[in-house]
Amino acid sequence: MAEFVTLEVSDGIGTIRLDRPPMNALNRQVQEEIRDAAREATVRDDVKAVIVYGGEKVFAAGADIKEMADLSYVQMSKIIDDLQSALGAVADIPKPTVAALTGYALGGGLELALGADRRIAGDNVKVGTPEVLLGIIPGGGGTQRLARLVGPSKAKDIVFTGRFVGADEAKSIGLVDEVVAPDAVYDAARTWASQFTKGAGRALAAAKAAIDQGLDTDLDTGLKIEQHVFAGLFATEDRTIGMKSFIENGPGKAEFLGK
């Protein structure tokens, strides 16, 4: 039984809930529990979309610095792969994912949120990568995912300065996608996620794979990836159901099985 991270499922939506007061510091135990929750969300058929949520007060204020302070180079070199893969575990979920951000999403907290397909923030949220102020850099995927999301110049400004970015600026540069009242963050995330609970799960997974994998390569290779996953959908039951429903009833009325 996980101590700090749970997967709560209702109405087809799985919520990966962080609960390590007061700031949801991401120590190694929390990191491994995030990985476990992400794996569970991946394999459960009753989970169609996923929310990552830290509660009403804070998303996650970063790694547990007390745990890291005395580590040597040799020690960190042995665990950095685990740290990076744990904070990136949400990115590996082949279903629509959204991070619901409240309070602070800093350092490892922001890196966790960057792995989601969408980020919804309260209007009082502060996000950032303050690692440079500790003499280090983001090590959980932040230098890579942030630059891909907002571009290298803006990413360098955020990483180099370690400054906190407010919700309005974060939205203006594409770091978050939607800003709402602080007490409406989770409901807004559920509204977005609920669009997919009756969707064609295989097609959603294929779309996510094509986009994510294509961004990591050149256009020609990305187009080949698209060809491969597109053709593969013709082996699914949902493709048959969707096309038959379209021909007989018009668009948007198919009842998919996720197979």
Q: Where are the domains of the chain?
A: 5-194, 201-249
- Residue 102's H or E segment, with its range, is none
**pLDDT confidence of residue 64:** 87
Tell me the three state secondary structure of residue 53.
Answer: strand
Average pLDDT, the chain: 96
| pLDDT given at position 59 | 98
CATH number, domain 201-249:
1.10.12.10
Q: Which residues participate in catalysis according to the annotation? A: 111, 131
On the question of pLDDT at 69 being above 80, the answer is yes
Cα(186)–Cα(99) distance, rounded to whole angstroms? 9
Looking at the chain, the whole-number percentage of residues with pLDDT higher than 90 is: 94
User: Minimal CA–CA distance to 138: which of 124, 151, 155?
Assistant: 155
Q: Name the class of domain 5-194.
A: alpha beta
From the CB of residue 170, how many other CB atoms can be counted at a distance below 10 Å?
25
- Locate all alpha helices (DSSP H) within the chain, ordered by sequence: 28-43, 65-68, 73-87, 108-114, 142-150, 152-161, 167-172, 185-194, 201-215, 219-232, 237-249
Rounded mean pLDDT, 161-180:
98
Mean pLDDT along residues 131-148: 96
Model confidence at 129, pLDDT cuts 50, 70, 90, reads very high
Is the pLDDT reported for residue 97 higher than 90? yes
Q: Would you state the structure tokens that stand for residue 191, as one six-digit string?
A: 């509204």
Q: What is the mean pLDDT of residues 166-173?
A: 98
